[in-house]
DNA sequence: AAGACGAAAGTGGTTGA
DNA sequence: TCAACAACTTTCGTCTT
């Protein structure tokens, strides 16, 4: 008998906006996107497939493996033993009474041993904090893993002493976002965690300095995609916005300016040019800048780029 | 009435002495 | 540590659609 490749699970979903069944999974931004109208059908996508491919039965047997993959997001990397709560043996039969009590004791001590000393406990707490924030922000898994790795590094370098765990965890998430090219502002992070923006920023600067990281400044382009999605604008608007941004970058209009302000203004211009007009206030709210800033950037861009705006 | 515009004063962060 | 500075915000009055 001929073995087939593991087929990709058939997509029976349809776009609620235009009804098209041509949906594309974009693992980079963790979204399912409609190929016809650009509507984001689902955010927060999890890559459920294995990272390997098998072309015949033998390969599949070789490559498949049991157990969860090692992860940095659990304090013992998910590699320790867990005793489940079913009082059953491998055949699914109930255990005799005496054994039940034994398993209960084993389970208790396993739990105690797993998170043993204070450092371990702190690490376990911090990693669960990181997971919480990442979950609140719908961040892809690679950001979560990166943040966990950074936190471990910080612990190793003894940088946590005297600082709040929550502040440092929020900061590691921010560093991870920047490293992974995921556009999230300090404001976003502080809203998803119990720490205020100032504290997150302080810890962030501290981490960068101590760990000797260099993080490239965020490009406005990353925010354009985010804003256009949140404003539910068509893909065409985003495309034009990127073109305008490119022209603006060429003319050095973007240097020294806040990337969110630039992205907001560019999105605003693109929305006017395509006739899918959004108000300054709508964009300002999503971009977390004021209308005045959008106006200022908008003025500079229009002056230099000589747009013909059809109203 | 809502949205856009712009002036003026205020704020918080960075930089360099 | 402090002042200077640029970017940005807040506020508010006026104009436009």
Which pLDDT score, from 0 to 100, does residue A48 have?
52
Average pLDDT over residues A141-146: 88
Cβ(A189)–Cβ(A147) below 8 Å: no
Confidence band for A3, pLDDT divided at 50, 70 and 90? very low
Identify the top-confidence range among A72-76, A193-197, A258-262. Answer: A258-262
> Does at least one atom of strand C sit less than 7 Å from the CB of A280?
no
pLDDT value of position A249: 85
Q: What's the CA–C1' distance between A48 and C7, in Å?
A: 44
DSSP secondary structure string for all residues of A60-120: HHHH---SPPP-TTSTTTT-S----S--B-TTSPBPPHHHHHHHHHHHHHHHHHHS-SHHH
Using only the alpha carbons of chain A, give its radius of gyration.
Answer: 25
Tokens representing A46 are 């999890």
Neighbours of A188 (CB within 10 A): 19
User: Is the predicted pLDDT of residue A196 greater than 60, yes or no?
Assistant: yes
Question: Quick check: A269 CB within 7 A of strand B?
Answer: no
- How long a stretch of residues is chain A? 311
Place of tokens 């041993």: A113
Q: Is A152 exposed, middle or buried (0-12, 13-18, 19+ CB in 10 A)?
A: middle
> pLDDT at residue A5 above 50?
no
The answer to whether strand B lies under 7 Å from the CB of residue A102 is no
- pLDDT of A235 reads 84
pLDDT exceeds 50 at position A233 = yes
Read off the pLDDT band of A77 (50, 70, 90). Answer: low
Tokens of A35: 């190929």
pLDDT value, residue A199: 82
Assigned token pair, A121: 């406990």
A181: confidence class by pLDDT, cuts 50, 70, 90: confident
Determine whether the distance from the CB of A302 to the nearest atom of strand B is below 7 Å. Answer: no
């Amino acid at each position: 008998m001929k073995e087939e490749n593991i087929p990709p699970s058939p997509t029976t979903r349809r776009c609620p906006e235009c009804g098209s069944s041509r949906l594309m999974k974009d693992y980079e931004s963790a979204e399912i996107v409609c190929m016809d109208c650009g509507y984001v059908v689902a955010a927060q996508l999890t890559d459920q497939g294995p990272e390997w491919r098998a072309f015949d039965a033998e390969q599949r047997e070789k490559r498949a493996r049991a157990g969860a993959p090692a992860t940095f997001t659990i304090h013992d990397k998910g590699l320790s033993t867990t005793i489940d709560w079913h009082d059953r043996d491998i055949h699914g039969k109930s255990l005799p009474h005496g054994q039940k009590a034994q398993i209960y004791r084993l389970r208790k001590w396993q739990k105690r041993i797993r998170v043993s000393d204070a450092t371990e406990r702190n690490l376990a707490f911090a990693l669960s904090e990181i997971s919480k924030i990442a979950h609140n922000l719908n961040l892809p898994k690679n950001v979560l893993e990166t943040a966990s790795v950074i936190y471990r590094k910080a612990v190793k370098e003894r940088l946590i002493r005297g600082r709040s765990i929550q502040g440092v965890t929020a900061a590691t998430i921010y560093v991870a976002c920047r490293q992974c090219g995921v556009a999230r502002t300090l404001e976003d992070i502080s809203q998803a965690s119990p720490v205020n923006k100032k504290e997150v920023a302080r810890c962030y600067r501290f981490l960068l300095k101590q760990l000797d990281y260099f993080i490239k400044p965020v490009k406005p382009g990353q925010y354009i995609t985010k804003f256009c999605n949140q404003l539910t604008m068509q893909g065409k608007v985003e495309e034009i916005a990127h073109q305008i941004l490119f022209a603006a970058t060429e003319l050095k209009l973007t240097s020294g300016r806040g990337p969110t302000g630039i992205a907001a203004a560019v999105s605003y211009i693109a929305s006017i040019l395509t006739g899918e007009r959004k108000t300054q206030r709508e964009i300002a709210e999503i971009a977390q800048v004021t209308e005045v800033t959008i106006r200022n950037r908008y003025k500079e861009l229009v002056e230099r780029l000589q747009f013909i705006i059809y109203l």
